[in-house]
Chains A and B, each alone.
Chain A
Amino acid sequence: MAFQTNELAKAYWRENISLMVKLLAVWFAVSFAAGILFVEQLNMVQFFGFKLGFWFAQQGSIYTFVLLIFIYVIKMNALDRKYDVHED
């Protein structure tokens, strides 16, 4: 066991899950919500020559996906150090 106590192991996992859920919420919001479910409403808004919903569906969601992964990597590496379960 890499953790000092069982509580620490649980706390690490909880923080991990909470980060994951938050990032997945954004993932859902930019693709399924903005690009599909609410696309008609967002298309009323003009955004650099695009209808906003259309932009999310064909451009914006993809940029956000990349951002989400890098945020996850940075936060998880910090979390690994905090609980001393990082690799050498």
Chain B
Amino acid sequence: MDLQTLTYIIVGATFALYIGIAIWARAGSTQEFYVAGGGVSPLANGMATAADWMSAASFISMAGLISFMGYDGSVYLMGWTGGYVLLALCLAPYLRKFGKFTVPDFIGDRYYSQTARTVAVICAILISFTYVAGQMRGVGVVFSRFLEVDITTGVIIGMAVVFFYAVLGGMKGITYTQVAQYCVLIFAYMVPAVFISIMITGHVLPQTGLGATLADGSGMHLLDKLDGLSAELGFAAYTEGTKSTADIFAITAALMVGTAGLPHVIVRFFTVPRVKDARISAGWALIFIMILYTTAPAIGAFARYNMIDTINGPDAQGTLVAEAPTWIKNWEKTGLIKHEDKNGDGRMFYSGDERNEMTIDRDIMVLANPEIAQLPDWVIALVAAGGIAAALSTAAGLLLVISTSISHDLLKRNLMPRITDKQELLAARLAAAVAIIVAGYLGINPPGFVAEVVAFAFGLAAASFFPAIILGIFYKKMNKEGAIAGMLAGIIFTVGYILYFKGIFITPLAENKPENWLFGISPEGIGTVGMLVNFVVAFAVSKVTKEVPENVQEIVEQIRYPKGAGEAQVH
């Protein structure tokens, strides 16, 4: 059986599974639609959270980024896991006790203000849309490479599947599909990693293989070998990287805090029955995430070693184009690998200096890895299914946030408080449907800045939601004036800084290079400063404005201990 048929079968089987689960777990009420009825077990919730969290970026892009960035890639590893410690210790249990459906719910009620609620709704929608466009794009890339349909068809198929289970099942359908998607994606990620680890180092666990000696008999450690190769070829040392310490620090912090402030992650902790369960499900989620995140740096290092070895050849003279391995030919067709024979010797050569003849897209490393290592076809097909699972599960979680923001926060709590539960549910479904179409459109016609907008999403979450929620829980005296001023100041500063250097809708006002940056912090890390701005402004404004009403202070007292946490309430 050829690769394409095999891929159709495996991807088709996973789709059938997701749709089957969606039919089984249809939502009948808004409570089921928004928070799965608040009855999800912590273990299942942890697994669903992990799938929700690990997007196309984690599955497809991250190991490739690390492969090219070496030590600098650590910002993603620490940044995208460390946020769960903040979530578990500082946010999840209290928000669960608060017992509402959404993040704007908390902001609006805690700060007794429709203005605060509206600011939060806008942030939630903005963050989720920027994120979801990237997911749909990921689905399209996987489809176009492995199923050889064009990207548009790929995105439309992906939209149809998400439409089915998100619109029908709401949070309940999404949760149980995500559990299945986690299993698919982690299996698809680990199988090639284990194979390659055994081939290169003889270690079964990629986590220890990363630090092991090469199995080629040289007795050299993989990481030392990579450092040596990097030096020969004119790259920065693999274990050292090139970014400044201040920038690494700021990016890591922005990703951590941004993770803890992302609405589609927070809302997952509203789905469990008790405060206790919210705490432990953050722990389960991080265990499931850890499996992939500690494997990714190993895949990155293995891929780098394999790639240099196959392109430059064992004698480091370059491989003849005529003898190029099939994976290079396959990916050249997609335009993601390019070779330009600069010195006309008929050989390919890859390096970090003027000898370089290759242009390689970082996003292909995980997808091409099984081909580079010449693994069997079923492994390649599995990786395709895993990539799609990762993208779909995250897209569904984000779409739910968008639809909830519109039907619940905007309509029910703001514009049309009189609508019945049934009407609200219909509105939620319609909003989800519209959101899917918009996301699909963005996936087919990606604004040329998908990578930039992801930094945008984290920066926004770090500078807006995180401080507002933390202060709401830990500082009783924070009033609405302080919180709103803080959020606005944080957002304006962060958005302004990113636009200034990246120029997303305008032309950049200054060149995006370290000499121009504030404190040497790149736009990716500026959310950290935005967060500090938010805290400072919030404190200052709250000192000179009216005190927090008695009843709100009492609410804050009550969310600080678990007893009496009921079901997520219907208003």
Q: Which residues of A contact B (CB under 8 A)?
A: 1-3, 9, 12-13, 16, 20, 23-24, 27, 31-32, 35-37, 39, 43, 47-51, 54-55, 57-59, 61-63, 65-66, 68-70, 72-73, 76-77, 80, 83-87
What is the bound-complex CA distance between A49 and B203, given in angstroms? 13
**Which A residues are CB-close (under 8 A) to B280?**
73
Q: List 13 A-B contacts (CB under 8 A).
A: A9-B557, A12-B561, A24-B85, A31-B78, A32-B252, A54-B223, A57-B71, A58-B74, A69-B283, A72-B88, A77-B279, A86-B276, A86-B563
Q: Are A66 and B286 in contact (CB under 8 A)?
A: yes
Q: Are A66 and B211 in contact (CB under 8 A)?
A: no
Q: Are B239 and A85 in contact (CB under 8 A)?
A: no
Nearest CB in chain A to that of B274: its residue: A87
State which of A50, A62, A66, A83 has its C-beta within 8 Å of the C-beta of B77.
A62
Interface bits B89-118 vs A (CB < 8 Å: 1, else 0): 110010000000000000000000000000
Q: Are A51 and B562 in contact (CB under 8 A)?
A: no
Q: Are A87 and B562 in contact (CB under 8 A)?
A: yes
Q: Are B82 and A27 in contact (CB under 8 A)?
A: yes
What is the bound-complex CA distance between A10 and B547, given in angstroms? 21
What is the bound-complex CA distance between A44 and B521, given in angstroms? 27
Total contacts A to B, CB within 8 angstroms?
A: 138
B569 proximal to A (CB < 8 A):
no
**Which B residues are CB-close (under 8 A) to A35?**
74, 78, 252
**Which A residues are CB-close (under 8 A) to B210?**
50, 58-59
Given contacts A12-B560, A48-B211, A59-B294, 12 further A-B contacts (CB under 8 A): A31-B78, A37-B249, A43-B239, A49-B221, A59-B297, A61-B81, A62-B294, A69-B89, A72-B279, A84-B563, A87-B562, A87-B564
What is the bound-complex CA distance between A62 and B117, given in angstroms? 34
What is the bound-complex CA distance between A45 and B71, given in angstroms? 16
What is the bound-complex CA distance between A55 and B279, given in angstroms? 28
Q: Are A20 and B89 in contact (CB under 8 A)?
A: yes
B208 proximal to A (CB < 8 A):
yes
Q: Are B249 and A57 in contact (CB under 8 A)?
A: no
Q: Are A66 and B283 in contact (CB under 8 A)?
A: yes
Q: Are A76 and B279 in contact (CB under 8 A)?
A: yes
- Known contacts: A69-B283, A72-B88. The answer to whether A49 contacts B294 by CB under 8 A is no
State which of B78, B211, B282, B560 has its C-beta within 8 Å of the C-beta of A61.
B78
Q: Are A87 and B74 in contact (CB under 8 A)?
A: no
**Which B residues are CB-close (under 8 A) to A77?**
276, 279
Q: Are A55 and B562 in contact (CB under 8 A)?
A: no
- Known contacts: A32-B249, A63-B294, A69-B282. The answer to whether A2 contacts B208 by CB under 8 A is no
What is the bound-complex CA distance between A51 and B71, given in angstroms? 11
Query: What is the number of residues of chain B that contact chain A, defined by CB distance less than 8 Å?
Result: 51
Nearest CB in chain A to that of B221: its residue: A49
- Known contacts: A48-B208, A87-B275. The answer to whether A27 contacts B223 by CB under 8 A is no
Nearest CB in chain B to that of A1: its residue: B557
Grouping DSSP codes into helix (H, G, I), strand (E, B) and loop, the B interface class, with mixed when no group exceeds half, is helix
Q: Are A73 and B283 in contact (CB under 8 A)?
A: yes
What is the bound-complex CA distance between A76 and B279, given in angstroms? 9
Q: Are A62 and B78 in contact (CB under 8 A)?
A: yes
Residue with the greatest number of chain B CB neighbours at <10 A, chosen from A36, A47, A69, A80: A69
**Which B residues are CB-close (under 8 A) to A69?**
84-85, 88-89, 279, 282-283, 286
State which of B78, B279, B563 has its C-beta within 8 Å of the C-beta of A57.
B78
What is the bound-complex CA distance between A12 and B85, given in angstroms? 21
What is the bound-complex CA distance between A70 and B285, given in angstroms? 11
- 5 closest A-B pairs by beta carbon, nearest first, are A49-B211, A57-B74, A69-B283, A85-B561, A58-B297
B213 proximal to A (CB < 8 A):
yes
State which of B66, B207, B239 has its C-beta within 8 Å of the C-beta of A51.
B239
B399 proximal to A (CB < 8 A):
no
**Which A residues are CB-close (under 8 A) to B451?**
none
**Which B residues are CB-close (under 8 A) to A48?**
208, 211
What is the bound-complex CA distance between A33 and B231, given in angstroms? 27
- Known contacts: A9-B557, A57-B77, A58-B297. The answer to whether A49 contacts B207 by CB under 8 A is no
Closest Cβ–Cβ distance, residue B95 to chain A (whole Å): 15
Q: Are B77 and A36 in contact (CB under 8 A)?
A: no
B183 proximal to A (CB < 8 A):
no
Closest Cβ–Cβ distance, residue B246 to chain A (whole Å): 10
**Which B residues are CB-close (under 8 A) to A31?**
78, 82, 252, 256
Closest Cβ–Cβ distance, residue A56 to chain B (whole Å): 9
**Which A residues are CB-close (under 8 A) to B182?**
none
Residue with the greatest number of chain B CB neighbours at <10 A, chosen from A16, A20, A51: A51
Closest Cβ–Cβ distance, residue A47 to chain B (whole Å): 8
What is the bound-complex CA distance between A20 and B91, given in angstroms? 12
**Which A residues are CB-close (under 8 A) to B561?**
2-3, 9, 12, 80, 83, 85
Q: Are B563 and A85 in contact (CB under 8 A)?
A: yes
Q: Are A66 and B212 in contact (CB under 8 A)?
A: no
Nearest CB in chain A to that of B207: its residue: A59
Q: Are B562 and A80 in contact (CB under 8 A)?
A: yes
Closest Cβ–Cβ distance, residue A11 to chain B (whole Å): 12
Q: Are A65 and B252 in contact (CB under 8 A)?
A: no
**Which A residues are CB-close (under 8 A) to B74?**
35-36, 54, 57-58
Interface bits B196-215 vs A (CB < 8 Å: 1, else 0): 00000000000110111100
